[in-house]
Amino acid sequence: MQEQHRTGRKLLVAEDNDINLIVLSRMLEILGYEFDAVENGLDCLTLFGQNDYDLVLTDIQMPGLDGMQVASKIRTMKPTKRDIPIVAMTANADLTEVERFRVVGIDDVLAKPFNKVDLLNCIEKWLKK
């Protein structure tokens, strides 16, 4: 059953693994979020520059530009763009890695595998700010 549509909020998702992208897309659909999905960091930056998003969910390990590089480049954009929350999705979420993510401008980390409740809580935490 689909939950209430969360109007006025749009997410950008960057995930290069097809299965992970299908699962994540389904969770976001069930939660009622509008989103665009891309399979690499370069496409993420292109769409981010062309559209307005409220939050970015990015995989860390992607070919070409990885999630850390994407976050670093977003943080150098004009103020209306660079302050958008960025959440990393990674299986590698130990404390030293999380600290490295924060240094490049990643606001939060969702440790894979995560469930729908984890995803919702993380998104809502950042969209309320």
Q: How crowded is residue 124: how many other Cβ atoms within 10 Å of its Cβ?
A: 13
Is the confidence at residue 86, as pLDDT, over 80? yes
pLDDT at site 129: 72
Q: Residue 87: beta bridge partners? A: 57, 108
CB 56 within 8 A of CB 37: no
- Please name the residue that has the structure tokens 């069930």: 30
Q: Distance between CA 37 and CA 14 in Å, rounded?
A: 6
Domains of the chain, residue spans: 10-127
Nearest CA among 9, 123, 17, 125 for reference residue 67: 17
Residue range 82-106: mean pLDDT, rounded: 89
Is the predicted pLDDT of residue 5 greater than 70, yes or no? no
State the pTM of this model: 0.91
The encoded tokens of residue 110 equal 């969702």
Q: Which two tokens stand for residue 14?
A: 């960057």
Tokens for 67? 């999630």
The one-letter amino acid code at 120 reads L
- Predicted confidence at residue 1, as pLDDT, reads 37
Q: What value does the mean pLDDT take over residues 60-84?
A: 92
Cα–Cα distance, 21 to 82 (Å, whole number): 24
pLDDT at 59: 96
For residue 108, the SS3 value is: strand
Query: Which class would CATH give 10-127?
Result: alpha beta
